[in-house]
Chains A and B, each alone.
Chain A
Amino acid sequence: MLSILRKARLKDKELRVLMLGLDNAGKTTIVKRIMGEDINTVSPTLGFIIKTIDFDGYKLNIWDVGGQKTLRSYWRNYFEKTDALIWVVDATDRLRMDDCREELAGLLLEERLMGASLLVLANKVDVVGCMNEGEIRERLQLDAIRTHNWTILRCSALDGLNLREGLSWVVQDAKDRLFLY
């Protein structure tokens, strides 16, 4: 059963992507924007929502996990494990950057997320006065991350800036690691 599924996943080029971040970072809005849904009706996500996005011939199963929930349950399950992490940061929220750093660091320690690559999305860059990429990078101490392959992108869920680029990074990374042959 499991082997059937593993093969099918490889063949269908499916990826499991966990979308995480503090609450109000804009995770659900990002997902909705990518899916082309109405982004004006977003309310805080309680728990999580799974959506499938077809991108570049790959099927991304995005697990959009609410910012305020304990996360352990979603890290992996019987059928699939996590291939990529998207960590969404609210680039306007300077106050909670320390929280954000701690959460992220704790997450990366988890051995069940080993082998997943990390995309940090600095959301809400359309807002004037937000932090720039370098500042976020520094405050999250991204350069200290050795365990995961990572990158950071500025993005905006409102105008869709860099969202596709983010996904293509995820897919490209997966191509390099998972679907070599």
Chain B
Amino acid sequence: MDASDDRDVKLQRASADLLSDIERRLPKLLRKDGSVRQYVRHGSLQKLIDLLEPFQEMPQLLDPKLATFVPVIVDAFVDFLILHKGSYPKSDKVKNDAIPLPRAICRLLYVLCKIRGEKVISRFFDHRPNLLEPMLAAFEAWGKQTRLTGEDDSHPAIVRLTWEEKYIMLLWLSQLLLAPFDLANLSSAVVTAQSLEGHGIVSFKLPDNVPYIAVRTLTLALEHLPSAGKERESAKTLLVRLTVRPDMNKLGLSECVIRWVMETLTSRGDSSGTNPSLYEAVGILSFLAGVLAAGEKGIVSPFIVPIYRSAFAIATDDKSYGYLTGSALGKRMIIKLLRTIAILTLRPETRSAGGISEETVSSILEDTIDYLLTSLAAADTPIRFAASKALSQITLQLDSDMAAEVVEAILGSLNEDVLAMEATSSSNSANDDLLRQRTMRKSLATVNPGRWHGLVLSLAQLLLRRSPPQSQLPEILKVLMNALTFEQRSATGVSVGANVRDAACFGIWAVVRGYSTQQLLAIDVKSIVRSLNSQSDMTVLHALAIELVVSGCLDPSGNIRRGSSAALQELIGRHPDTIINGIPLVQVVDYHAVALRSRALTQVASDASRLGKVYWEALFRAMLDWRGIGSPDEVSRRMTAKAIGLLSEIIDGTTAKRMFADITSVLGALRSTEVEERHGLLLALASLLDSAIWQKYNDQNLSDAELSSLLGRDFPSQILSQVSALPENDFVAFSRRPELTAEASCVLVSSLLRRCQLLQLSLSDEDFGACLRIISLSLPRSDEVTITSTSTAARNLFSVLNSQRRSDLVRQWIDLLVNGKKSVVTPSGHLASLGAVFALVSGDRGEGLSKDQNDILNAILSYCTENIAVEFRVAALQSLRNGVIKSKTITSAIVDALQASLRDYSVDQRGDVGSWVRLEAVDAVCEAWKHQLLSDAAQRLLLPEVCRLAGEKLDKVRYRAWLCLRELAALHSSTHALSLFNCSSPDLAYVSTETYFSQLLQLLLSDICGLRLPLLEGIFISAGGGYESLLRASRNSLAKFVYELSVEGGGYNLVEFCKDINQVIKTNLSNDRVLIPSLDVVSYLFDTGSLQRASEARGETGWRALLSLVQKAHYKSTNMPKLSAAIQVYAGLGEIPAIKQESLSKLLSLLLHPFPLVRNMAAEIIFTTLLPDSQVNTCSAELQRTNWSASPKELKERVNKLRAALIETR
């Protein structure tokens, strides 16, 4: 929808580097020490191709270097050719990533051809005629016996030449055939008809004296003409080149070839007849077109009529040639051939040379043009392109009368299938205009969009070449303007027709470029613009400019917005001083400004409409149509509504009143199923109500009379009547997209209530009833947008209700929530709304919480408990944050709920759903901090929890917790420990870096009490169970931190840290989520050798406590990760002298563990780390030799022996 950024500018900037890189790599790829390589590496070839590919977008950038690049490649190929023409390179030790040089070169050349076009590239091929023979020989030899044994040993099948090789070599051959000498001079032998038999073309009767080399070429070309790949094209070129050679013609070969292919093409007439294959037919058709285009008139003119006959027969005979005409490729070729023929016959010299009569010419032309007109409707875009190009080229060759007839025919086709739907009313009011607009579009509902695209494109191409005479311009312009707003919706609601609008844009651009100001001004504008009311001074140029401005602002497709902007520039630049505010208009509807749809729709449209009432009218009108509120996606509709609001700020109150009327009249004309349009229109109404234009009337205590003159009588009821009558079904039935209706109605209700409040407009009871009904109907919806709009509506409603009614409503909703837990399917809406009105039921000021507020709070908090579904817990927390905490209320119950939610680790089949709750809770805490609501006690409860979350393994949780800490840090002086967080910029990636974790660890040094353990817990989870990169970052920073701690004394030290480790493990003994990662981290810290530094200072009791904690941790556990983590810790503990024996004995006992895996691990650990030097020899052999997977009973004796040996060494 939004236009992409300018890639070409970036490419242009990068091109110099790319080119020099290519220049550097190219020789290295092809040659080694000056001689050509046999094989090149696949990787380096691919790298080079990757460097070339970007130029596809702007091939011209390659041009200056082509003369350097291509000859280098070509020379390498020639050298290779001379060396290896007899046989394709064979090698037994071909590595997998090696490609034979010819293959690599051909691939490179193909890429270049693809980018810059084969005509340009082939120009650089080596033209020496003496290459013809070797090249042919190589092709023949390589094609027959290319066997690459190394490539796939299991299937030593014949590896044929790849299509790139064939393509390039055939192309090269065709280039070589341009040699001006007779082929007979190059060829050593001459053949008679017999010697051709061996070449497989049996049905071919050759004339005498054909040089052998020509026969070989012919064989190759004919062999590849029917192939399905790209080589067909170069085979065609080769055949064409051969056929049109004067010497071949003299020999009669040309005629012979043409006759033969014609026979093949139409062979179904034979009794034996099998149709040529699709690709063969395509090859032949393209060959014929090529011959006709390239051949001298003397050679080809006798064939024109016969070729035409058979081509046209094929084109129109769907029964026998359906396979051909049904394929886009085949049809394009037919079109191209017919085009070539038609253009040829228009030249007098061909006519005379071929003896073609005038009648034949005109019948050819008529049939061809007719065929092209039908082809314009084809479903495949390439066919439409080809047909429109053909049509415009032929038309350009015609004399002016006939050209005008073609244009007439195009215009006629455009009017087919247009439904006759004239607007019934004859009056000229704005509403009718709107309706007419809709009718107009409906009348085009049945036309074929593909056909329109083709037709409009042809018109545009003709206009670009200034073909249509001025007298036809009015009709053409009318079509173009219709086409500029063309749109259809497919059955599934997808918008179709962007290509039609694109073509129209192109057409208008071409018109204003090609025709003079006088010519265009002379056109009677009333014949074009359907509903021109009074403004008689409107010119065609102006009408066009208005349409372009509208398209530039509103079109959903970025390219069309840009195209319109370009056409507008051209219009205003070529026809100066004809457009109101033309120059500012060009500057507003700028190439860059319209790139982003949201900007085009709101800012650009509003700026443009300031430049003239006509633009305003047109834009507003168009916004009410499919490009605005009728957009298929709701985002665009919301944006349009906003844009309409902006438009209203430009004009006066009366016009604004008219906008209301216009919108309501469109609303009234909607069918009940047009839910999306209604969504857009209701939002537009709301946006009008929000518009700043009413600002000046606020608080003026306008009398009723003044108000009704301003807005009309019973204004609120009028507005509400748009929604109050909506059936309940629209808010419930799935098929009616209830969320759209609910959202739009609620937004409208809130806007209305706010506006009424500001204007001090009183509402009747019925109005309140209507508002309430809408809100109540919308409350059960659970999507976020609706919830937001509903709760806003609720808040706005409450602010105009009296306290009694407020209380009643609150009671009603709470009742639903608390007592009807089962009946309310999704309480999210109710929760949000209760939160939203929390501040409005405060009762008498300054008395703490009112009864209603308490009730609301209890109701919400009752949804924060664990037996409630996660989604609703989230909703409740949101409501707490948005309603309660934002209105600066906090209670100990809330703090408790928050604390519990921060610890929510619920898991279900969707994974860690508790994280949603934690996220919401963090945000709520953050909110509370912002308002400085938390007492010291509450802070002590919550801060550690947030710190823990700041270390945990989910990125987004960590991120939000970090943001929360930053928020808190901002409140404190710079000396505070948290001020560390102030420095870096908020970025989601940051919280996964080492720096982040180091910063977090610094908090351990602070004196904030109760923070250390949760923080460590959090970091342990990341460092023990995070994903790979997180694991690395957190572990690195942890290791560094621990390494830098002093062992004893001076604040936080290693001993303290060890104590904390014990504590973390102790408190989480039954909580595997923390326990296992913690054990992992401890063993990791042992591995890094940092914990060992405290082996003395920590004292035996400390270490022993850890040992016993680890024992407890895995006691009777069957959890393998836990067991393995524990074993690793034992390994570490074994390095502490004080408890070495205990650890060892623990491990020894694990040698008899029921799990074989555990036994193996324990054995391995003992073997690798814990054997005392004196026992290494005896025990290691014992440990190694034993099969630790055997049953424990068998192992018992050995273990006892080991134990005796190891423990007694004490």
What mask results when residues 1 to 13 of chain A are scored 1 for a CB within 8 Å of chain B, else 0?
1101100100000
> Are B559's CB and A47's CB within 8 A?
no
Residues of A within 8 A of B576 (CB): 47, 49
Residues of A within 8 A of B499 (CB): 1
> Are A78's CB and B12's CB within 8 A?
no
What mask results when residues 53 to 70 of chain B are scored 1 for a CB within 8 Å of chain A, else 0?
000000010011010000
Q: Can you name 10 extra interface pairs (CB under 8 A) apart from A78-B563, A78-B565?
A: A4-B389, A77-B591, A78-B559, A78-B566, A79-B509, A79-B563, A79-B566, A114-B9, A178-B63, A180-B60
CA distance A80 to B513 in the complex (A): 13
Residues of B within 8 A of A73 (CB): 569, 586-587, 590-591
Query: Which of A47, A75, A81, A114 contacts B583, CB < 8 Å?
Result: A47
> Are B582's CB and A47's CB within 8 A?
yes
Within 8 A of A (CB), among B773-807: none
Residues of A within 8 A of B8 (CB): 81
Given contacts A47-B576, A69-B583, A77-B569, A180 and B64 within 8 Å (CB-CB): yes
> Are B565's CB and A46's CB within 8 A?
no
Residues of A within 8 A of B566 (CB): 77-80
Q: How far is the CB of B16 from chain A (nearest CB, A)?
A: 11
- Indicate if B574 sits at the interface (CB-CB under 8 A): yes
Q: How far is the CB of A137 from chain B (nearest CB, A)?
A: 26
- Indicate if B836 sits at the interface (CB-CB under 8 A): no
Q: How far is the CB of B71 from chain A (nearest CB, A)?
A: 14
Residues of A within 8 A of B562 (CB): 77-78
Residues of B within 8 A of A8 (CB): 464
CA distance A111 to B573 in the complex (A): 23
Interface size class of A (residues with CB under 8 A): 20 to 34
What mask results when residues 335 to 354 of chain B are scored 1 for a CB within 8 Å of chain A, else 0?
00000000000000000000
> Are B565's CB and A77's CB within 8 A?
yes
Closest 8 CB pairs of A and B: A47-B583, A50-B573, A78-B562, A77-B566, A180-B63, A78-B566, A181-B120, A79-B566
Tell me the nearest residue of chain A to B559, going by C-beta: A78
Residues of A within 8 A of B9 (CB): 111-112, 114
Residues of B within 8 A of A81 (CB): 8
- Indicate if B6 sits at the interface (CB-CB under 8 A): yes
Given contacts A1-B503, A79-B509, A63 and B591 within 8 Å (CB-CB): no
30 inter-chain pairs at a CB distance below 8 angstroms, sorted by A residue, are A1-B506, A1-B563, A4-B389, A4-B461, A47-B572, A47-B582, A47-B583, A48-B572, A48-B573, A49-B573, A49-B574, A49-B576, A50-B573, A66-B583, A73-B591, A77-B562, A77-B566, A77-B569, A78-B563, A79-B563, A79-B570, A81-B8, A111-B13, A114-B12, A114-B13, A115-B12, A177-B60, A178-B63, A181-B66, A181-B116
- Indicate if B821 sits at the interface (CB-CB under 8 A): no
Chain B residues proximal to chain A, CB less than 8 Å: 6, 8-9, 12-13, 60, 63-64, 66, 116, 120, 123, 385, 389, 461, 464, 499, 502-503, 506, 509, 559, 562-563, 565-566, 569-570, 572-574, 576, 582-583, 586-587, 590-592
> Are B64's CB and A177's CB within 8 A?
yes
- Indicate if A70 sits at the interface (CB-CB under 8 A): yes
Q: How far is the CB of A148 from chain B (nearest CB, A)?
A: 12
CA distance A46 to B577 in the complex (A): 9
Tell me the nearest residue of chain A to B119, going by C-beta: A181
Determine which residue in B64, B385, B565, B573 has the highest number of CB atoms from chain A within 10 A of its CB, and name it.
Answer: B573
Residues of A within 8 A of B389 (CB): 4
Tell me the nearest residue of chain B to A114, going by C-beta: B12
- Indicate if A76 sits at the interface (CB-CB under 8 A): yes
Determine which residue in B8, B60, B123, B565 has the highest number of CB atoms from chain A within 10 A of its CB, and name it.
Answer: B60
> Are A70's CB and B509's CB within 8 A?
no
CA distance A69 to B592 in the complex (A): 17
Determine which residue in A2, A50, A70 has the highest number of CB atoms from chain B within 10 A of its CB, and name it.
Answer: A50
- Indicate if A74 sits at the interface (CB-CB under 8 A): yes
Query: Which of B13, B574, B582 contacts A50, CB < 8 Å?
Result: B574
Q: How far is the CB of B31 from chain A (nearest CB, A)?
A: 26
Q: How far is the CB of A63 from chain B (nearest CB, A)?
A: 6
Residues of B within 8 A of A74 (CB): 569
CA distance A79 to B505 in the complex (A): 11
CA distance A50 to B509 in the complex (A): 13
Q: How far is the CB of B524 from chain A (nearest CB, A)?
A: 26
Residues of B within 8 A of A77 (CB): 562, 565-566, 569, 591
Tell me the nearest residue of chain A to B593, going by C-beta: A73
CA distance A8 to B392 in the complex (A): 13
CA distance A177 to B65 in the complex (A): 11
Q: How far is the CB of A16 from chain B (nearest CB, A)?
A: 11
Residues of A within 8 A of B116 (CB): 181
CA distance A49 to B563 in the complex (A): 19
Within 8 A of B (CB), among A55-98: 63, 66, 69-70, 72-81
Given contacts A1-B502, A47-B582, A72 and B63 within 8 Å (CB-CB): no
Query: Which of A75, A114, A181 contacts B123, CB < 8 Å?
Result: A181
Residues of B within 8 A of A181 (CB): 63, 66, 116, 120, 123
Query: Which of B13, B563, B572, B590 contacts A72, CB < 8 Å?
Result: B590
Q: How far is the CB of A159 from chain B (nearest CB, A)?
A: 26
CA distance A22 to B565 in the complex (A): 25
Within 8 A of B (CB), among A102-123: 111-112, 114-115
